[in-house]
Amino acid sequence: MPALNSGLVLVTGGTGYVGAWVIKYLVDNGYDVVAAVRTAAQGDFLTNRFPAYSGRVSHAVVPDISKEGAYDDAVKDVDAIIHVASPLLYSWEDPQEVIGPAVAGTSGILKSATTYGAKVQRVIITSSASAVCGFMTDKEYDENDWNLADLNTEHTKTSSPLAVYNTAKTRAEKAAFDYVRATQPRYDLVTLLPAFNFGPYIHQPGKHFGSSPGALLAAFPVGGETSGALVAGFVDVRDSALLHVLALKNAELSGERLINANGVFAWQDLYDILNEAGYDAPGKDTKGAGEKKHMKLLLRNNKTFKYFPDFKYRGLKESVLDMAVDLKSGGYLT
């Protein structure tokens, strides 16, 4: 695919934490956007979010992304697709409520692009660093790795939400590459694999904040996590979103996977940052304990700098403090 420096881009998941930033950076970089949303009200919020959006952002209502042909109309006349949408639920009766829509939505948008997206040149799918690896595995990982453990796990009602999410993202990304290999469509495929996203938010969160900030807030009641049960990669949500836009501009990325991460963290690291800044976070008696866990996991981000040598990731402290300001003003964090 030649570099795509302008045009109309379909963004799914634009009402979410990452997707809203993707839309902002697309507009800032001269693209027009059609956002696939579940309701007209969500679409109205997006199209009115910033003054610069006037005449640049429209929306298409897609109530159920797992429905056959859900994106058939939305892909018409667009030059590229950025598929961010994926379920993230912290409770469910059946793990297939998460896994099924993730796989069906990803496969479905590729099928729609093949049949009805005559102008589509590139599809970018937001996968996850969890599709490369799980947690606490004492190994160095890059884009050649796949999370085979979660890929091959059949989950039950008692499975952890994060494990189910990992499986959903891994299976969805695998399905995307399998489809492209089998059908050889006119467009090319790129997948981006962000780690835990932290940073400020510009979308309209619900009562229970989802995404990575929601995972942090959900961890607060259990106190400071210092056992090493979770060590994962992190990326600032603004950096993650910008990389989606840069991926449209780079012709050499065709067929690539790209990890978006700037290091690893334990929950205690976040608590330390928040406590130092005067927030009432857990882990006051275990300050610094998270640092002992960092060598348990290493995500290599070399490919980011191979394709974007001038790119600079934000650090964890900046991301967490900027996020905390928004969470506090939104009433999520004291």
Supply the pLDDT for residue 100. 77
Supply the pLDDT for residue 285. 85
In a domain, 14, yes or no: yes
**Which segments of 111-201 are extended strands (E)?**
122-126, 139-141, 188-194, 196-198
In a domain, 291, yes or no: no
| pLDDT profile of the chain (334 residues), mean per 10 | 89 93 97 94 91 94 86 96 79 72 90 97 95 76 89 77 84 96 97 95 80 78 56 92 97 96 88 92 84 70 95 96 92 78
Supply the pLDDT for residue 207. 65
Number of domains in the chain: 1
In a domain, 91, yes or no: yes
Containing structural domain, residue 157: 8-198+236-261+298-313
Supply the pLDDT for residue 334. 65
Supply the pLDDT for residue 54. 94
In a domain, 273, yes or no: no
CA distance 316 to 268: 12
Q: Domain containing 143 — which CATH number?
A: 3.40.50.720
Are 125 and 176 in contact, with CB atoms under 8 Å apart? Answer: yes
In a domain, 211, yes or no: no
Supply the pLDDT for residue 87. 64
Q: At what angle do helices 211-219 and 316-329 cross, to 10 degrees?
A: 80
In a domain, 123, yes or no: yes
In a domain, 207, yes or no: no
In a domain, 2, yes or no: no
